[in-house]
Amino acid sequence: GISPDVVTYSTLMKACIRARQFDQAIKIYREMELVGCTPDRKAREMLQNASMILR
């Protein structure tokens, strides 16, 4: 089958952040790590930005 890559996960995270669903963006990031897909700099920055908004 086809597995999502870092671009797919990042796109999902971006959509969640735009919809202000920050918890879902964090879950997607964690799932990415769990399946062995290494987050790139862009994905990490998106997560940091979402975390800052939550504070």
Q: What is the pLDDT of residue 52?
A: 79
Q: Greater confidence, 5 or 1?
A: 5
- Full-model pTM: 0.85
Contact yes or no for 13/29 (Cβ under 8 A): yes
Q: Where are the domains of the chain?
A: 6-54
Position 42, amino acid: K
Sign, CA torsion 40/8/12/29: negative
Question: Per residue in 6-44, pLDDT tens?
Answer: 999 999 999 999 999 999 999 999 999 999 999 999 999
